[in-house]
Amino acid sequence: MNSRSRSELNWILLLLLTVFALAPLTYPGFFETSSGFLPAFSAANPADAPDWEGLVGPVRGEGPLPYLLAWPFFALSGSGVVAIKWGYGLAFLLGALGVYAWTRRWLGAKGGVLSATVYTYLPWHLSTVYTRGAYAEAWLWAFWPWILWAIDLLAARRPRSIPASIVACLVLVAATLWTQQGLATLALPLFIAYGLLVTAGKRRHWLLDALGLLLIFLWIAARSAAETPISFSDQFLHPFQLLSAVWGSEPSYQLGLAAVGLSIVAVALQAGRRESPPNGVGTAEGDELASAPPASQRRAFWFWVCAVVVIILLCLPLSTWLWKLSGFDALLSYPWQLLALSALPLAFLAGSVIRLDRRLAALPAWAGVVALVVLASYPYLSPRFTQTDPGPEPVALFQPVEASTPQIMLLDYEIEQSAELATTQALTLTLTWQAVEPVAEDYTVFVHVLSADGNKIAQRDSRPCNGECPTTSWQPGQVIVDRYQLDLGQDASTGRSGSQPEPVRLAVGLYLLESGDRAIVSGRDDRMVLLDVP
């Protein structure tokens, strides 16, 4: 088999290896993530994406680009849920292909496939999609490896590739800033340092200086941004969380046992080499060889070792002073968001074992290592699902009295009885709620049955689920199904004229029992939402 055929086979193999990561996207319904249905609503209304998110500002919040990328799928399907699933799928595929395109120069084809597999199945990557529902961050994972590929292309200084690599790098950096500005800004120092590494001994390119100036500008802009209500210093991780296997409704901060284990093996192998082997010695016969010189491979390896150590330290409490001193804490809501950047060095280091030990590059061993990476992450591919489909937007948005932005969505409602009150003695109302932030106070739901002239026919006030699921217990993204039985009594038709029954409406809202203060309903001054009875 010639080299071109092997290359095409590797690309196809890589796409097949992502199938397990994509599988949950094919399940019916939508997964219950911390962001709830907000990404789906934003995909249906991409121009209003920042408003739907209700975050503290454009630096920490999400940009419109990932939702613009999903909008064509909404136009074709008419469903924001379907559009977001396609968006996540594309992000997974582009990220895997980008890592392979970048690392095969350094690690060879088999090392590149392993790196891309590690990158795809890192627990933090899967948690970003299936637990946190951080749609914009998922697209950063897709863009970042292609930036490194463009930097490598630029460092090669082939005359024909220089213009294309400059354009690609600028476009990709701009895309990340239009996706999630805060985290994209913090990635710039890593890309600048990498650019300096691969151009060592060569004339430095002006593009690196431009990226440095851009970093300074964005830092100044972040310093003037609005402060987040979340205490940044309380969100640092403890070391055990980086290796904890806990998984559920809360995000897993695990770096990935397979990725960390392979990286440690790679460090041991690299440290044990007194001299760098000839180019390609670490690859199996018939494999595409790494094209980077051995000395460059060694420098790149230790660069990524240092990078992952620094990134991890920045997520721990001991780096609090550095965040405050530098002012970069204005760029993120949580320091652990920086874990996304650890994916690049971990993928590179884990894939390096193939280059460093040719026994692992032989087909049976190589296939086993790749399979190990997939199987180690399999428990993280079982998200919680809901069959609720609220359409392109929620019925209503509620802003608690103590909050500055909406935190509760009324996703859907269902009325099981007829509107002909003359022959109906009760109505059953089912409300479907979802919170996008923890709710600080315990709210009571009121339901008023109104006649056509606005008179109250019946009323029911109760804490959600008859008090069994108070709003203070609602987890972000959790779908709450809340039912109310309303007794209309024998005089339900009172106040109507004529033989034909008049239509009625239901008024629904939230209030604090102690004070009587109602939660704000977006777009309404009366702090309640009116539901038509069919």
* Complete DSSP assignment for 10-32: HHHHHHHHTHHHHGGGGSSSEE-
Cβ-based burial of 334 (10 A; exposed 0-12, middle 13-18, buried ≥19): middle
Tell me the one-letter amino acid at 497: S
Containing 174, the helix (H) or strand (E) segment is helix 162-177
Q: Look up residue 50 and give its two tokens.
A: 């920042």
Contacts of 388 (CB under 8 A, 6+ apart): 29, 30, 37, 411, 412, 432, 479
Q: Look up residue 497 and give its two tokens.
A: 């004229």
The answer to whether the beta carbons of residues 416 and 428 sit under 8 Å apart is yes
- Side-chain-facing half-sphere of 202: CA atoms under 13 Å: 15
Rounded Cα distance, 397 and 388, in Å: 17
Residue 285 carries which DSSP code?
Answer: T
The answer to whether the beta carbons of residues 91 and 142 sit under 8 Å apart is yes
Burial 144-156 (b: 16+ CB within 10 A, else e): bbbbbbbbbbbbe
The answer to whether the beta carbons of residues 56 and 229 sit under 8 Å apart is yes
In the three-class reduction of DSSP (H, G, I as helix; E, B as strand; rest coil), residue 472 is classed as helix
Rounded Cα distance, 389 and 411, in Å: 8
Task: Tell me what pLDDT residue 493 has.
Answer: 46
Rounded Cα distance, 251 and 278, in Å: 43
User: pLDDT (tens digit, 0 to 9) for every residue of the chain, 534 residues total?
Assistant: 555 556 678 888 888 999 999 999 999 989 888 888 988 988 888 776 655 545 344 456 788 899 999 999 999 999 999 999 999 999 999 999 999 999 998 999 999 999 999 999 999 999 999 988 999 999 999 999 999 999 998 887 776 777 888 888 889 999 998 998 889 888 988 998 898 888 876 655 666 666 777 777 666 665 555 555 567 778 898 888 888 766 555 667 888 889 999 999 999 999 987 654 444 444 444 456 677 778 888 999 999 999 999 999 999 999 998 888 887 887 888 899 999 999 999 999 999 999 998 888 888 889 999 999 999 888 888 888 898 888 888 899 899 998 877 889 999 999 886 544 445 567 889 999 999 888 989 999 999 988 877 788 888 999 999 889 999 999 888 999 999 988 776 544 444 444 334 557 899 999 999 899 999 998 888 899 999 887
The answer to whether the beta carbons of residues 460 and 508 sit under 8 Å apart is no
Task: Tell me what pLDDT residue 51 has.
Answer: 55
Containing 426, the helix (H) or strand (E) segment is strand 426-435
Task: Tell me what pLDDT residue 219 has.
Answer: 64
The answer to whether the beta carbons of residues 376 and 257 sit under 8 Å apart is yes
Task: Tell me what pLDDT residue 492 has.
Answer: 45
Question: What CA–CA distances, in Å, run from 38 to 44, 146, 385, 403?
Answer: 10, 28, 15, 18
Q: Which residue has the tokens 């290359």?
A: 7
> What does pTM read for this prediction?
0.88
Tell me the one-letter amino acid at 337: Q
